[in-house]
Chains A and B, each alone.
Chain A
Amino acid sequence: MNAVSFSADAYFAEVMREFEIIPTKKRADLSRRSILKIATAGGAGLVLAFQIGGAGKAMAATAPVKGEFVPNAFLRVAPSGRILIYSKSPEIGQGIKTAFPLIIAEELDAAWTDVDIEQAPVNPAVYGRQSAGGSRSIPQSWDQLRQAGAAARAMLVSAAAKDLRVPVSELTTADSEVIHQASGRKIGYGDLAIKAAGQPVPDVKALKLKTRDQYKLIGKSFGGVDNTNIVTGKPLYGIDLKIPGMVYATYTKCPAVGGKVASANIDEIKKLPGVKDAFVLEGNGLVAELMPGVAILADSTWAAFRAKSALQVKWDESEASKDSWSATVAKAKELAGQNGKEEIVKTGDFDGAYMGAVKKVEAFYSYPFVAHATMEPMNCTAHFKGDSAEIWAGTQTPERILSSTAKMLGIAENKVTVHQIRAGGGFGRRLVNDYAAEAIAISKQAGGIPVKLTWTREDDMAHDFFRPGGFHSFKAGLDANGKMVALSDHFITFTADGKAPVTGGNIPKEEFPFPMMANGLLTQTMLPLMTPTGAWRAPRSNTNAFAFQSFLHEVSAAAGRDHVEFLLELLGEARWLVPGNDGSLNTGRAAGVIKLAAEKAGWGRNLPKGRGLGMAFYFSHAGHFAETAEVSVDANNKVTVHKVIVVGDIGPIINMSSSLNQTQGAVIDGISTMNLELSIEKGRIGEGNFDEYPIMRITGIPEVETHFIQSEYAPTGLGEPALPPVAPAVANAVFMATGKRIRQMPFFKALSTQASA
């Protein structure tokens, strides 16, 4: 095993614990313990803030600063009638900055045109969780945000009741007004703001939340709240920041993780035009924070980049990664025929059932490492001020910068201010704030001047927390009726610490369809790895779905059965796979999306020669998705995806426009990534820029048709679960079109190296 580990697995374990799905009953308990508090000042309006039970911290001060409220709660009603809503979590392109305020405005019964929206300050003591990840923002905030709106509405209604001298029961609300229908009188929320602030805070238990038929906003289409600023080029992103006295920085790390600076031409660099300073940082040994490297500070980004290109570093790679993807592939192929030593699932008697099977199917699947490659490269502006620090970052985990910075600088957490800025893409990359740690360390070392650190695209590709590659060696046995009676998978993955799989490279024991198998065997082998891995959009699911949902189609095809009918039989009767956990797979919801996708796609219809229709189902992040892909393959093995139908059940949809955008994006991301790969040799990533990492362009995009089954369950997230079924749906469709089975990503390579099956 590696003598030294530079993985971010411990960090991710902590982050991902937050994303765990809490069953409804436990959620209700938490909610009951929620304490609603009110704070008013200056008589100017109404501020509500929450402390979520279990946070264990006092609510942060809501005292006025210079006669104004400190904006640390969810909403604020001004006497003018304008309603300011704070969106508590980071916007990374998933649309949460619009969706969160919609939920609050719904329960407040506000007119959307009266609402202004601002990003909330980073203060988890007030807001609870403020991360964006795991598709958990909506489910974890659903009750809290509705209560925030409903409590405010109740207080406005109480104030109006006093004003109008009528009982509360005679009052209704609509479009930011309290209405007394009997007398035809109406009072706007703005006119009630001061009086509402004096009303007692209602008990959370007494709050009457809307039923779904009462929704006026939720479920309709709303444009993103930053759209006008985006199309007019306003400063919105971290990279757009400029603060007084700021200098521009680059940071250069060893291309193989774990390398240290042996020597560098620092003196030469310092003499280059525009360069203000250059120095070595030793780092703290944590790849999720600060690894060794050379910082260059200059009077413009270009001066810093230009100097970086002249930088020559001799790296001490004695403890650095020597990872090799080609050697790994060879090793995995060697291991493929055996079972892994570690058993994850063992039910019944796989060997016996497989031996007795009438038909046997075996297949080996593989997929490579890929990068997040967000359009906005990692960057951060930071100002170390001696006993305090201020940081501006596009990040998925802003509250973690509070704790990591405080620890790194040896100062109290309340001496750290973090501003969460709209991020030019996340996909899981910005769950790690290494770039923020670098920026604050550079600011400190430079003597406390504010620094904007910008990574080059090449830095961004080299120093990602990659989606790990992996391998699956499957065996399935069929009985005389074409029923799958035995299933095994030898999963070959990676480990950094020798104990657990790397982040994004694991497989849960609930992996479908193992819970349905009377004779199932899931074993695992972990190969050593130093390359840092992380959470890439639907981590583990985006790759496991490809392997499992493709192999299941191989099995149904070998049995000569209809794939939809085969999947529905596997699912069996409607039930939760983990009883009592409504975040687990529900076979009824699964069957529902599969049936609707089949219906919408015209499953079973005749297709022209060379065309194929494929189907895949996957459950991840509490979302049930079935997708069909219709493809054609030309004589040069070029795959054209004509149409993808997405059917999802994530409960009610909050914002239809952004939800449809998310599913379209997930389909295109899925098709794009099925054809991408990174090479790793001598611990280095071989690809440096988009010319070597060809993300899908506008040509060849399919038509995407989305249907949501808006079931009665509480809403769950959409950032991730629409992605995993895309690749297997396309692979299955290619098989239907050509008889060629894709068992490897990138798909184009699998097809070009494969003779007709």
Chain B
Amino acid sequence: MITLTVNGKTVEVDDSDPSTPLLWVLRDTLDLVGTKYGCGVGQCGACTVHVNGVPMRSCSTPIAAAAGQQVTTIEGLAREDGTLTAVQKAWIDLDVAQCGYCQAGQIMTATALLRRNPKPTDEQINTAMFGNLCRCGTYIRIKQAINAASEAIAKGGVA
């Protein structure tokens, strides 16, 4: 068995195929379906999760590489009492989503950016978010939401 921590809980998963992408362990085994399959080759960012706080493409991360690591998914961002993070709140306030399918990945990438760099420039936002595709074209609101979350964090909001 492979042991890892997902959203603060220790889990043991089957290791018979250590090349199984973390994505499918999350979705099919652990029923954490907020992390999305989009391309399977690390091109679209819909599957983005945090591994030890770093945004990673879970479709291209073998489960063996996640052994002993701290994994956070979109389901694990809000506090246990349900309080949403500044990024999640901004995504709601700015009504970012159209189809919404890519947004979990967008939020995970944006969250990692703001935890590392709470006041990113436009260029830093572009660089950080470049790997996350949105077919509906919600990029304008994604940027606005990142800036709104940045301001909220500056005022004491949860990153």
Contacts and interface: CB of A to CB of B under 8 A. Distances in A.
A and B held together in a complex: yes
B100 A226 contact: yes
Contacts of A95: 98
A656 to B, nearest CB: 10
B84 interface: yes
A377 interface: yes
Contact of B24 (A300, A373, A697): A300
Nearest to B77: A232
A698 B125 contact: yes
Contacts of B91: 227, 230-231
Contacts of A242: 31, 33
Size category of the A interface is 35 or more
Contacts, number: 191
A94 B138 CA distance: 12
Contact of A698 (B16, B84, B97, B139): B139
Given A230-B100, A240-B33, A424-B100, A301 B28 contact: yes
Contacts of A697: 129-133, 139
Contact of A375 (B20, B29, B38, B77): B38
Given A306-B17, A667-B137, A701-B139, A93 B99 contact: yes
Interface string B99-142: 11111100100000000000000000110011111111111111
Interface in B64-114: 73-75, 77-78, 84, 88, 91-93, 95, 97-104, 107
Nearest to A93: B99
B17 A233 contact: no
A701 B126 CA distance: 10
Given A231-B88, A691-B43, A698-B126, A376 B36 contact: yes
B101 A424 contact: yes
A665 B74 contact: no
Identify which of B29, B37, B43 gathers the most chain A CB atoms within 10 Å of its CB.
B37
Interface string A694-705: 011111010110
B44 to A, nearest CB: 5
Nearest to B29: A300
Contacts of B107: 231
A375 B134 contact: yes
A657 interface: yes
Contacts of A300: 20, 24, 28-29
A672 interface: yes
Contacts of B136: 93, 375, 425, 665, 669
A223 B91 CA distance: 10
Contacts of B11: none
A193 interface: no
B17 A236 contact: no
B84 A231 contact: yes
A300 B97 CA distance: 29
A668 B137 contact: yes
Contact of B95 (A236, A454, A661, A689): A661
B46 A375 contact: yes
Contacts of B142: 698
Contacts of A427: 135
A450 to B, nearest CB: 14
Interface string A235-267: 111011010000010000000000000000000
A180 B61 CA distance: 65
Contacts of A215: none
B38 to A, nearest CB: 5
B53 interface: no
Interface in B5-51: 16-17, 20-21, 24, 27-29, 31-41, 43-44, 46
Contacts of B92: 223, 227-228, 231
A701 B88 CA distance: 23
B37 A233 contact: no
Given A233-B34, A234-B34, A665-B138, A457 B40 contact: yes
A166 to B, nearest CB: 41
B99 A227 contact: no
B101 A237 contact: yes
Interface in A669-708: 669, 672, 689-691, 695-699, 701, 703-704
Interface string A87-130: 00000111100000000000000000000000000000000000
Contacts of B32: 233
Contact of A232 (B38, B74, B101): B74
A424 B75 contact: no
Contacts of A669: 135-137
B135 A374 contact: yes
B125 A661 contact: no
Nearest to B125: A698
Nearest to A691: B43
Contacts of A667: 137
Contacts of A135: none
A93 B98 contact: yes
Contacts of B125: 698
Contacts of B28: 248, 300-302
A701 B93 CA distance: 21
B159 to A, nearest CB: 15
A224 interface: yes
A701 to B, nearest CB: 5
Contacts of A227: 91-92, 95, 97, 100
B97 A224 contact: yes
A661 B78 contact: no
Contacts of B77: 232
Contact of A302 (B20, B44, B137): B20
Nearest to B102: A375
Identify which of A95, A302, A666 gathers the most chain B CB atoms within 10 Å of its CB.
A302
A234 B20 CA distance: 23
Identify which of B33, B46, B73, B100 gathers the most chain A CB atoms within 10 Å of its CB.
B100
A454 B31 CA distance: 16
Nearest to B25: A302
Given A306-B17, A375-B134, A665 B98 contact: yes
Nearest to A702: B140
A698 B75 contact: no
Contact of B132 (A658, A668, A698): A698
Nearest to B16: A273
Nearest to A423: B99
A402 to B, nearest CB: 24
Interface in A371-414: 373-377
B44 A374 contact: no
A222 B94 CA distance: 10
Contacts of A668: 137, 139-140
Given A231-B84, A233-B35, A690 B100 contact: no
Given A233-B33, A302-B28, A375-B102, A664 B141 contact: yes
22 contacts: A93-B99, A227-B97, A231-B84, A231-B92, A232-B75, A233-B35, A233-B104, A235-B33, A237-B101, A300-B24, A302-B17, A302-B20, A376-B99, A425-B135, A427-B135, A457-B41, A665-B98, A690-B39, A690-B133, A697-B132, A698-B125, A701-B139
Given A231-B103, A375-B101, A690-B133, 6 more contacts: A240-B27, A240-B33, A373-B135, A422-B99, A690-B38, A701-B137
Which 10 pairs between the two chains have the least Cβ-Cβ distance?
A233-B34, A668-B137, A93-B99, A424-B101, A233-B74, A302-B24, A93-B98, A665-B137, A240-B33, A690-B43
